[in-house]
Structure 1
Amino acid sequence: MRPPKLSLAFSSLAVAIALAGSAPAFAQDAAAAAPAAPAAAPAPQGPPKLIVAISVDQYSADLFQQYRERYTKGLARLLQGAVFPSGFQSHAATETCPGHSTLLTGVHPNRTGIIANNWVVPGIGRADKQVYCSEDETNPKSTSEDSVISPAHLKAPTLGDLLKKKNPATLNVAVSAKDRAVVMMSGHTADAAYWFKGKGFTSFEDRKLSPAALAENQALAAGVGMGGAELPVPGWCGPVDRATDVGGFTIGTYRFPLKAGDFKGFSNSPRMDQATTDMAVRLLDEMPLGKDDVPDVLSVSYSATDKVGHAYGNEGVEMCIQMNVLDQTIGTLLDALDARGIDYAVVLSADHGGADAPERMKLQGVPEAARLDASLTDKGLSDSVSKATGVVPKDGPLLYGAGGSGDIWLNAGLTPRQHKKVVAELIAELKANPQISGVYTAQELKAVKVPSGHPQDWTELERVAASFDPERSGEVLMMTKRAVVPGTKAVPGYTATHGSPWDYDRRVPMLFWRKGLVRMEQAQPVETVDIAPTLAALVGLTEPAGTWDGRCLDIFAGESDSCAR
């Protein structure tokens, strides 16, 4: 038997760097003139055979705007389609799971039921009371730290689900480094679903790995086993290639060397996106996708931007390197689709944006930037509210949550009188805290109707309501002020984050591309919930009124099934 080819992640990276010592294609200085726009191609007739839905985790509209002139490969091509630089994840809980849940369902998290990456069920029989967004907690093997992955919590169908309901021959396929991205984009009817865990790609508990996944994992073992040199730095990264101290360690200058056998370092680096593309390309051939008259869906979520953003923030050389690699690897995916002669349409967006490390934000003229005060953590609030009220639960802490997405749950063992007393004190303390922008109760949020106007104009209350589910959300929700970053201190690997109701976390790009699509750019705000109805119209899928929170964007003018019809 022949040994498998090295994955694209290593044929273009580890082999080129570690063995040949020469830089791969993306090491070349992209500051040279951007490629000329390709000649207009004739538009295909009828619906595309494949929808390619790309999510770039933590890809804020600000990051897109900062680097768009540097893109020369995949992202440069998508910029020749329909460009919406001000897309919105309209809700307040700007985390990975809620954001991904909006992309192909067309509804906000208050309808997907995915209110956060994790939520608390005070009465659950676990010490930490925490439930993961894409787990089946009814499975006795599942824990919040090592979950049995399932789409059970997702309350809305995805585009792939609806297409398969219309015609079971539709193939619904998803791949990412993160299981929650795979689950939230593919939904309940994935024909193939792969995410990275440990030393390779894996899938649902009851599924065997396909030959494509086994081959990719074998290639990864060989590639990671060799390790790799530092990643090349494009010349245009010079202005952000500078060190910043964030409390005992430095960010801003790291170049991602890879120790032999370091799978954790691999999965937290730009190399992970390259492996994600490689796995997606293998699935193109294995399924195969886009080869008949029934439209298929391929969801690809790239996670490295999020990993890099958390570890190093978004204003250092690390993110500059990542933006270069991301552009190249999306180009690899599109080239693979072209080489197979597939008629496809692409949408690219993101689950949320992100904040930079507050220490660097201060240096760049944001004096209010700060880390969350310890008094606003679940422990800090539990201690202070217990002291003020005299309520001390017999089992477990008084409060769960806080920080992060802002949900706060109360101990399940409180009496009605204790409960009322604790809620009143909690609200009073939160409103008095200078880092808090708003405090809302579950009862208040139940009465709020999520608006349909421009998401940039929504009030904070409306943003919170868009990610509120009365079955899962906290009893009290707190929102921090702009530039207050969750996490009381920077720690290696977790320097910056997201999760706020502010535009740097809510605004994301939305790019659509299909061969022959006339280039256009619209600066007015749109929403990620507009993606599903737009793609549904393109492939001729009609659903009852009320299926979507979003609206069809008439960008595929002239298509027989466009929303203009």
Structure 2
Amino acid sequence: MRLFSLLAAILLALLLLAPDTVAEEPARPRLVVLVYFDQFRGDYLERWKDEFGEGGFDRITGDGAWFLNCHYPYAYTVTAAGHASVATGCAPAVHGVIGNDWYERSVGKSVNCVGSDRHEQVPVRTLEGADNDEKKGAKGGVSPDRMLKPTIADAIKLGTDGKGKVVALSLKNRGAALPGGRAPDACYWMDGGTGLFVTSTYYREVLHPWVAEFNKTKPAERWRGKTWDRFRTDLDYAKLSGPDDIAGESKGAAGQGRVFPHPFEPKDPKTKPAYLSAVYTSPFGNELLLDLAEKAIAAEGLGTDDAPDLLSLSFSSNDAVGHAWGPDSQEVLDVTLRSDRIMKRLLDVLDAKVGRGKYVLAMTADHGICPLPEVSRKQGKDAARVQPALAAKVEAFLVEKYGKGAAKWVEAASGPWLYLNAKAVKAAGVKQADVEEELARWLVKRDGVEAAYTRTSLVAGAGPVDATGQMVARSFRAERSGDVYVLLKPYHLPTAVLDTGTTHGSPWEYDTHVPLVVYGAGVTPGMRKERVTPLAMAAILSTAAGVKPPTGATAPVPTGLFTPVRK
């Protein structure tokens, strides 16, 4: 009996000394925050790491998981495709948002990714000063209906029985509507004609009181009469980026000019949209969005109860600045330095309102950016501005090859896609696949063209055998894509009319490489070099929130990202 008591005592002692059991799930945050910096290329965090201040990018990369080798797996890298792919966890071929807009054969016209004729802007839209994407749809209605798969936001709504709140904000309508999913509690973007934040009747009939109060202060007006100059007078901007005046740079918006300082006031002071365009094409558009985000966090009580909430923020001004001056400009350096301070301010607000250690924040971008061809040529690269696939040139080739019929051969051109006219093909008595192949062979002989992919080969899965072709296939959706995809060579821009500035939309590394940083509750910190995709974000944030990832999400959570909880 004494021996039994002794053994029992020893066993009890061993149990008390044993380590806690380890659960598979990470610590549960009250709030998950998805941050996009539009057109923030993947090398910026490393390139200017030593110039960032304390508490911003250095905090999330030092105390969080920083994935240095993160790339989009598809070819047509544009804003809408990036936002939708991150939010859904799948490629455009699956979620259907193949571009910012595309040609819809069923209606015979181009459609915007979030444009909706069935809804109206709230309050009534102002077309003056709006960009081309915003002008799609006369009433400015917006909805996520063209996105075919659910998002992180939808997964949180489903996984919490609707208790988890979702707030999605951006300067761009697509930057808010796509991550916001089907039923966000708040979804807002900026009206380019007024500088006020608006929504759509898809979401609600009147503005939230906190948005209406914010708009009453006319927040976008505070930079009138001021200029945008360098943020850090102690830094050698030319050494860290490049000369202030670079061949190929544009003059920005509303007469901002190619060199610092950049004015906000247009030549005609009565032209409000020109002033607003200048604010948008500067770091201060990001400040405007963060001001609204602070209001949202407080007014909606994000992260203040047990049901996890989602805040999606898409900072758009980096994109406008990068398009105008290019990634090697002093302007992009400056907006990046100021983005670091945006991140610090956001983290400080989250610490104060939600509590340090009680949220998870993940940062990425929707795409990268091509260097200015003029800069690339100085570096010895083959680079140029070309337009080999102009519809008129393609039409002339097909007429010469097959003859002129009752209908034009080219029905439409949108992004990298050429849409052939089925009526012309049928009238000529030729096979669609043969026309596609002939056109593709002709295109690859044009200056600046790397390859051309046909619908027939993409549908059959026979054509895209190389890695780049597989990326094109992931950007292809049969009912929305065209018949021939034209791929330009690296460092070549698809433009002859726009002879300054730059763009994105290729499968080349400068466009696919973006940051992926995950910081906060339960995250195992460290710098990681394995190749990952930003599509993993859907699984990452869903797992952090304790809900199932959205159906359609394919990329898994990177191994070891979350530290298991001891219970």
In the alignment, what sits opposite 1:54?
35
Name the CA distance, whole Å, in 2 between partners of 1:347 and 1:191: 20
CA contact (8 A) 2:171 2:189 kept: yes
Which residue of the other structure, out of 316, 320, 324, is the alignment partner of 1:307?
320
Cα distance per residue 1:139-193 (max 9 Å; x no partner) = 6999636542110001111111011112201111100111111111111111100
Name the CA distance, whole Å, in 1 between partners of 2:307 and 2:249: 55
In the alignment, what sits opposite 1:85?
68
In the alignment, what sits opposite 1:109?
92
CA contact (8 A) 1:105 1:159 kept: yes
Distance 1:248 1:182, change over 3 A: closer
Name the CA distance, whole Å, in 2 between partners of 1:49 and 1:115: 33
Which residue of the other structure, out of 504, 508, 521, is the alignment partner of 2:514?
508
CA contact (8 A) 1:441 1:477 kept: yes
Residue range with higher mean Cα deviation, 440-449 or 69-78 = 440-449
Which residue of the other structure, out of 216, 225, 238, is the alignment partner of 2:214?
216
In the alignment, what sits opposite 1:95?
78
Deviation, 1:393, is: 4.9
* Pair 1:154-2:147 in alignment: yes
Alignment RMSD (CA, Å): 2.9
Distance 1:220 1:65, change over 3 A: farther
**Aligned partner of 2:534: which letter?**
T
Distance 1:50 1:236, change over 3 A: farther
Distance 1:225 1:322, change over 3 A: closer
Distance 1:324 1:335, change over 3 A: same
What SS does structure 1 have at the residue aligned with 2:303? coil
Cα distance per residue 1:295-340 (max 9 Å; x no partner) = 0000001111110111111111111111111111121111111111
Name the CA distance, whole Å, in 2 between partners of 1:554 and 1:247: 42
In the alignment, what sits opposite 1:195?
189
Name the CA distance, whole Å, in 2 between partners of 1:218 and 1:450: 56
CA contact (8 A) 2:535 2:555 kept: yes
In the alignment, what sits opposite 1:207?
205
TM-score, reference length from structure 2: 0.82
**Aligned partner of 2:245: which letter?**
A
Which residue of the other structure, out of 372, 382, 404, is the alignment partner of 1:357?
372
Deviation, 1:506, is: 0.7
Cα distance per residue 1:267-308 (max 9 Å; x no partner) = 221110111111111100111211110000000011111101
* Pair 1:531-2:523 in alignment: no
Cα distance per residue 1:471-529 (max 9 Å; x no partner) = 111111111111111221445xx610000111110111100000574421111210111
Q: How does 1:282-321 map to 2 (within 5 A)?
A: 282-321=295-334
Q: How does 1:344-383 map to 2 (within 5 A)?
A: 344-366=359-381, 368-373=382-387, 375-383=388-396
What SS does structure 2 have at the residue aligned with 1:88? coil
**Aligned partner of 2:455: which letter?**
A
In the alignment, what sits opposite 1:173?
167
In the alignment, what sits opposite 1:121?
104
Cα distance per residue 1:324-364 (max 9 Å; x no partner) = 11111121111111111332101000111011211122123
Distance 1:517 1:480, change over 3 A: same
Name the CA distance, whole Å, in 2 between partners of 1:280 and 1:320: 24
Cα distance per residue 1:27-63 (max 9 Å; x no partner) = xxxxxxxxxxxxxxxxx98310000000111111133
Name the CA distance, whole Å, in 2 between partners of 1:501 and 1:382: 27
Distance 1:490 1:63, change over 3 A: farther
Distance 1:458 1:298, change over 3 A: farther
Distance 1:153 1:365, change over 3 A: same
What SS does structure 2 have at the residue aligned with 1:107? coil
Deviation, 1:556, is: 4.3
What SS does structure 2 have at the residue aligned with 1:414? helix
Distance 1:505 1:225, change over 3 A: closer
In the alignment, what sits opposite 2:237?
237
Name the CA distance, whole Å, in 2 between partners of 1:83 and 1:538: 16
What count of residue pairs does the alignment treat as equivalent?
503
In the alignment, what sits opposite 1:332?
345
**Percent of counterpart pairs with the same letter?**
26
Which residue of the other structure, out of 116, 134, 149, is the alignment partner of 2:114?
134
Name the CA distance, whole Å, in 2 between partners of 1:531 and 1:45: 15
CA contact (8 A) 2:77 2:506 kept: yes
Deviation, 1:255, is: 3.5
Which residue of the other structure, out of 246, 261, 264, is the alignment partner of 2:248?
246
Which residue of the other structure, out of 54, 57, 67, is the alignment partner of 1:75?
57
Name the CA distance, whole Å, in 2 between partners of 1:528 and 1:114: 16
What SS does structure 2 have at the residue aligned with 1:183? helix
**Aligned partner of 2:213: which letter?**
A
* Pair 1:498-2:479 in alignment: no
Residue range with higher mean Cα deviation, 378-387 or 53-62 = 378-387
What SS does structure 2 have at the residue aligned with 1:164? helix
CA contact (8 A) 2:80 2:175 kept: yes
Name the CA distance, whole Å, in 2 between partners of 1:481 and 1:414: 30
